[in-house]
Amino acid sequence: MSDLPDSIIIGPLVYTVKADEASHAREVWKSSKDGWGAINYGPGEIVLDPDQTTQHRRAALLHEVLHGCWHTTDPQIEGEEAAIRVLALPLLDVLRRNPDLVAYLVATDELASDDDAEASP
């Protein structure tokens, strides 16, 4: 599965994912800076630069998702950009190299409660 998702749910918020020239140009004009991606909390959108490799787009998307996660906890915490820059690429690498970890982490509650029942005395 290599298609860019249409939307992503982060906590109680849904973000539309866009990677087209027009959306990216609007983002650059609005923010006065050209980046690989941006998350806009109010309108609920993640805008990615379409002029990047698929591998880089994945990293940029994860970077913006981490911003969204940060936003759901406390948007006033300092050091957000630095922390996310440090974590995004290593996290993506860990997820890629450990599909069993990803499967375990994304298991449904139903599967988790089955495991918990087996562990109970």
Tally the domains of the chain: 1
Beta strands in 1-121 (DSSP E): 7-10, 13-18, 37-40, 45-48
Identify whether 83 is part of a domain: yes
Identify whether 1 is part of a domain: no
CATH of the domain at 100: 1.10.10
pLDDT at residue 1, as a whole number: 42
Identify whether 63 is part of a domain: yes
Per-residue pLDDT of the chain (121 residues; tens, 9 = 90+): 458 999 999 989 999 999 999 999 998 898 877 789 999 999 999 999 999 998 899 999 999 999 999 888 876 778 888 989 999 999 999 899 988 888 877 888 665 555 555 555 5
Identify whether 57 is part of a domain: yes
Identify whether 11 is part of a domain: yes
Identify whether 2 is part of a domain: no
16 backbone dihedrals φ, ψ, rounded to 5°: -80, 135
Query: Which residues form the domain of 48?
Result: 7-119
pLDDT at residue 108, as a whole number: 82
Q: What is the crossing angle of helices 54-73 and 80-97, to 10°?
A: 120
Identify whether 21 is part of a domain: yes
